[in-house]
Chain A
Amino acid sequence: MSIKTRLKINTIASVAAVIITGVVFIGANSQMEKVSRKETKTAVLVKGITELEILTYDYLLHHEKRSEEQWKMRYDSLQNSLLSGEFKEPAELAVLERVNNNLKGIKYNFSQLTEGYRNGQDRLSNKTTIELQERLISQMMLSSREAVSDSFKLNELTHRERENVRQKSNMLTGFLISVLAVVITSISFLINRTISEPLRKLREGTEVVGSGNLAYRINMDTKDEIGQLSRSFDQMTERLKRVSVSRDELVKENIKRRQMGNALKAANRELEAFSYSVSHDLRAPLRSIDGFSRALLEDYLDRLDEKGKDYLNRVCRASQRMGQLIDDMLILSRVVRAEMHYEEVDLSAMAREISSNLGNSRSEHRVEFIIQEGLTATGDARLLKMAMENLLGNAWKFTEKHSSAKIEFGAKRENGKQVFFVRDDGAGFDMAYVNKLFQPFQRLHELAEFSGTGVGLANVKRIIQRHGGDIWAEGAIERGAAFYFSI
């Protein structure tokens, strides 16, 4: 039950208490009124009978017509007041009946009297008449006494009723008030319990959570407003906990990353030292091998036969090739380590420049370059140039055996992404080995046919990957090759 309904019930109960008390009061009041009306009636009755008595004496003394008339009027009004219907209780009605009968008796006697007086004024001294008169008078007196005492009885009854009504209404009011007091108190108590106790729990919960314990839950299961509030609070704490957990994880992750970054830096430094020593120390002996082989070929030529010369030439070529391999390897490691400086790079212009350099070389090779205009990408200009040089250089190299050749640089949209390509119609390659192309020192062509170390495409792939892009190739033997990349 919600606090709102509870408060509503309490209000309704209070209002009901007031109304009921009012109704009881009004009821008691009207009862009292009725009783006082009865009292008035009995008073009128007593007065009327007493007056009737006085009028009787008056008549008996003077025998006046006026007194007789007055008596009759008084009697009629008494009769009327008896009929007014205030009294309904059987006891009251019985008393009234008796009063009525007595009055009737009085009336009868009085009319006998008046008749007697009217018939014979002269016979007034008559003994029987006097006797009759006396009897009538005494009878009348008796009846009137009885009527008066009955009226008093009636009065007493009414009085008792008044007491009764007063007591009853007092009792009822008392009872109702105590019942309502109990109801209102208990509801108030309930409200108090369902509000202040949960409020205390809620306050404690917020204090605990506020002090940083995000694992604390209030767990109130009531369905009222405070229950809803505390559940919302629990949910909020839960969410807060999740957020702070993910924040903690983030911090941890950051530390891990920093450590990894440091490790990476250390590895980079090591790699740098290594490649420095490679470029120095590995090349030095090669230089000796090559240099002294040549010295032999030059200074001791006359003492060497053809085979000896051939062997020495092979030694020279091998050491030169190894020198080339070392150099290319160093380039590869430099690409990996290079710092990236992002800028808008005009790839079309780059392709034009590279192609004109290739065209200027001394070779007889003639190639038609088709370069799409206005192709740009965001990236490191130096590294992207290296990639483009490799791709276009390869295209140039692998079309050299063809009398005429076409090399294209362009872009197309694939899955909403811009994909650049370098395409040629040269020697091509076997698609079965397409995966080997991008691995360092892997080549698909014989050295005797096409020179090279097999590091170029590995470099290109590293460069594209460092730009967050992808590279892939298509080709067919003697039908050319195409290299696609996205940045």
Chain B
Amino acid sequence: MNDRTILLVEDNPDDVELTLRALKKNNILNSVTVARDGVEALDYLFATGAYSGRDVKKLPTVVLLDLKLPKIDGMEVLKSIRSDDRTKLLPVVILTSSKEEKDLINGYKLGANSYIQKPVDFEQFTEAVRQLGLYWLLLNEPPPIEKGSL
């Protein structure tokens, strides 16, 4: 279970810290890789750029994707993930402070698996992360593409 990594795409260091804390509080102890913007996230996923040495077959179990990102924004990242055969089925959870319906609709349209609004109340956030962890890290089977490499 420990090799099930989580890719957290988040530019705000406070939110990174709080997300890690929420995961820890919920006993989700998977390793977490943090990408600070969209470019870094895609580099990691496709083993390019700074991550060119990485095994491209080792995909994270789930991607927690913030929408508002520098350089390439969350929606673009999601589009790239969904348009590449290797990552087409990768679970992506949109994790954002936006309450705009437009974002929600677009997110699902582009194939987001889930959508969590980050509430101001940290307790609520912890609760949301707990449910997310339960579903995506404990219950959900990893996508079949990974089976050969395991």
Q: Which residue numbers of A lie inside 8 Å of B, CB to CB?
A: 275-276, 279-280, 283-288, 290-292, 294-295, 316, 319-320, 322-324, 327, 330
State whether A291 touches B18 (Cβ < 8 A).
yes
Cβ of B54 under 8 Å from chain A:
no
Stretch at the interface among B44-52, B85-93, B113-121: B113-121
Given contacts A280-B68, A294-B123, A295-B21, contact A287 B98 (CB under 8 A): no
For the residues of B in contact with A, the DSSP-based class is loop
CB-contact partner of A286 in B12, B96, B120, under 8 A: B120
State whether A330 touches B99 (Cβ < 8 A).
yes
Smallest CB separation, B6 vs chain A (Å): 19
State whether A283 touches B14 (Cβ < 8 A).
no
Smallest CB separation, A111 vs chain B (Å): 158
State whether A327 touches B122 (Cβ < 8 A).
no
State whether A291 touches B125 (Cβ < 8 A).
yes
Specify which of A276, A285, A287, A288 lies most central, judged by the most chain B CB atoms within 10 Å of its CB.
A287
Q: Which residues of A contact B140 (CB under 8 A)?
A: none
Cβ of B100 under 8 Å from chain A:
yes
State whether A290 touches B120 (Cβ < 8 A).
yes
Smallest CB separation, B38 vs chain A (Å): 15
* Interface size range on B against A: 20 to 34
Given contacts A280-B68, A295-B21, contact A287 B100 (CB under 8 A): no
Nearest B residue to A286 by beta-carbon distance? B120
Q: Which residues of B contact A292 (CB under 8 A)?
A: 14, 18
Q: Which residues of B contact A327 (CB under 8 A)?
A: 99
Q: Which residues of A contact B123 (CB under 8 A)?
A: 294
Given contacts A287-B15, A288-B14, contact A279 B122 (CB under 8 A): no
Nearest A residue to B123 by beta-carbon distance? A294
Smallest CB separation, B99 vs chain A (Å): 5
State whether A284 touches B122 (Cβ < 8 A).
no
- Encoded as 1 (CB less than 8 Å from any A CB) or 0, chain B from 111 to 136 comes to 00000001111110100000000000
CB-contact partner of B15 in A284, A320, A323, A324, under 8 A: A284
